[in-house]
Amino acid sequence: MTWQVWLAFLGAAIAISIAPGPGAVQSMATGMTDGLRRGWWSVIGLEIGLMLQLVLVAAGVGAVVAGSAVAFTVVKWLGVAYLGYLAVRQWRTAPRDLREQIGAAAVSSRRGLVLRGFLVNATNPKGLVFFLAALPQFVTPDAPLLPQYLAIGLTMIVVDIVVMGVYTGLAGRLVGWLNNARQQTILNRAISAMFAVAAVVLSLVRRGAPA
């Protein structure tokens, strides 16, 4: 992989990570309820899910999922159902003193945050579609594949960590502005709506459609 090809992939990775999606919504929700420091556990889960998708594509399993109507549909609707669950969960979140909550014991366990982030990315077939569409454009078939996959995977994960960290941090800063129950309820409902929109968008994804 040449520097020119790598820079092209870097641009694509930045664009994909910045584009609002389930991962961004999950990061903002976690930043608001658990703060930036604990929000990193959710980001770790997101990246584990991202790595799983890249490994599946590199191993050829992603092509099977994307090529099989049944497998693709199962993965897609699992993702839709989970995002729907997160939307309901956020909608029903009761207003509380978020500043005191973040400074006290954790609302969610570290394992729970990692698992939640992992499920958001692992059940999103758009990631598989993106990697299946992108990898052929940036991988040289005649060159050793492993170093190229490692470069692509490392680049994607580092970029996504930075972007999701920014989303988490920005949401965490909102906590200081949420001075009453009404403001908290409005924000909870807004994030719930974003999860719901992400679920609807995911439900419309078709095999062969761009991510």
Question: Residue 133 domain-assigned?
Answer: yes
Q: pTM of the entire structure?
A: 0.69
Q: Tell me the torsion sign for CA atoms 13, 15, 16, 20.
A: positive
Question: How many other CB atoms sit within 10 Å of the CB of residue 196?
Answer: 18
Residue linked to tokens 């972007």: 163
Q: How many domains does the chain have?
A: 1
Question: Residue 209 domain-assigned?
Answer: no
Question: Residue 210 domain-assigned?
Answer: no
Predicted pLDDT at 41? 94
Question: Residue 119 domain-assigned?
Answer: yes
Angle between helices 110-122 and 69-91 (to 10 degrees): 140
Residue linked to tokens 């999103």: 124
Question: Residue 211 domain-assigned?
Answer: no
Structure tokens at 91: 């909608």
Longest dimension (CA), the chain: 61
Task: Look up the domain containing 173 and give its range.
Answer: 3-204
Phi, psi of 72 (to 5 degrees): -60, -45
Predicted pLDDT at 114? 94
Predicted pLDDT at 136? 66
Neighbouring residues of 119: CB distance < 8 A, sequence distance ≥ 6: 45, 49, 82
Flag residues of the chain having pLDDT under 50: 101-105, 209-211
